[in-house]
Amino acid sequence: MEMTHWIAPLFIVWTLALLTVLLRRSIALVWRISALLVLIFYGAWYAPELFGPGLMSWIDQPLQQGALFLVALIQITPLVLLFAWPWILFQASRERTAEAAGKHLATLTVLTLFYWIFWLGAYARGVDLSPGGLESEMRALLELPAAVKSELETLDLPDLPQPPAAE
């Protein structure tokens, strides 16, 4: 999984999330500024990937990069769920109300079930969900329009007849 597939969307989402935090006045100014500084630090750290091939590949080939981004998300989802469950369980135990704790647990349960249903459906159809397999299948799917285009270019069509000359 290459970083160029997910670095630009991650920083876009992170920037939007940061804007929501910066506009919320109930959060102390020191925490809003620290969140901004963390984003600036990571933006500088990953600037070569972010502003080099990462962003340019999204501008040049948005459909292919979007599909590869989805592949990267699918591949990293089990790891994210593996770390998210203990974190959410601790967060749920620290919530002030039972409703808030239930919302956290319900959200993660639904996300986990959606992933399992997706995985079982893909496995039943014989889709290779290994890191290289899913990406190669997505690339093959995206190359279909190019194959159709090359067939259309080699198609030999008869010339159109000329209209009759006016006398």
**Residues 73-108 pLDDT 10s:** 777 788 788 888 888 888 887 777 888 788 888 888
Scanning the structure block, which residue is given the tokens 């080099």?
A: 52
pLDDT of residue 137: 65
Q: Could you tell me the sign of the dihedral formed by the alpha carbons of 11, 17, 23, 27, in that order?
A: negative
pLDDT of residue 91: 80
Give mean pLDDT, residues 142-146: 60
Q: In whole angstroms, how far apart are CA 6 and each of 15, 130, 137, 153?
A: 14, 18, 18, 34
Q: What is the mean pLDDT of the chain?
A: 76
Residue pLDDT, tens place only, 35-61? 888 888 888 877 776 676 666 777 777
pLDDT of residue 26: 80
The pTM of the whole model exceeds 0.85: no
Scanning the structure block, which residue is given the tokens 């009759």?
A: 164
For residues 39 and 47, what is the distance between their CA atoms, to the nearest angstrom?
Answer: 11
pLDDT of residue 130: 64
Residue pLDDT, tens place only, 114-143? 888 888 887 777 766 665 666 666 666 666
